Structure 1
Amino acid sequence: MISLISPLKAQQKITEIIRDRRLSMGLTQEELAKRSGVPLPTLRKFEQKSTISFESFLKLLMVVGGLDEMTNALKPFKPNFTSIDDVLKDNSNTLRKRGRKK
């Protein structure tokens, strides 16, 4: 799948969404930091520069919502078949556990 958004734009958009969720919940930065266990300076840096560790990001999502949606969005795509012929033509039945050797 090709993405038309750069990683930097995605980071900025995600930061904006988290900040908007925090504000819609009526939480200050201090309150979100306390509830999530993410240090306040880390949260401030995240909202200003869009940088944060993955663990801290997940902690924020646990409080503002979205953790379940994110984990569901990352599940492998399962095709919907309309006939037995579609099933027989499908080559993606096996899920690879390792990358190919070069």
Structure 2
Amino acid sequence: LRAGAELIAEADLVVPVPLHWRRFFRRQFNQSAELARAVSHLSGLPFSPSAVRRVKLTRQQVGLERQDREDNVRAAFRVPTEAEIEIAGRRVLLI
């Protein structure tokens, strides 16, 4: 956990970047969730896989310029109502 140690030290919980349900169905695996779970376990920080939900299917980021990547994910994520209390005022490490 040396890489990102400062970010981990400042975080209150670990949240994976969610896949859209269609992409998850096709892959059957969310690499971000597995990495976030491992960071949570090793750091002792709470793991909150449902704190953010992807609500828009986006194209892959590979090969996109910075502005195109930002545009691609704009409005793609939401915090579900039931997770608002869990993350309000907390520092979230998004992996």
- Both proteins in one fold, TM over 0.5: no
If asked which structure has higher relative contact order (CA below 8 Å, sep 6+), I would say 2
Q: Radius of gyration: which is bigger?
A: 1
Q: Which range, TM-score by smaller chain?
A: under 0.3
Q: TM-score normalised to the size of structure 1? A: 0.25
Higher normalized strand content (fraction of residues): 2
Q: TM-score normalised to the size of structure 2? A: 0.26
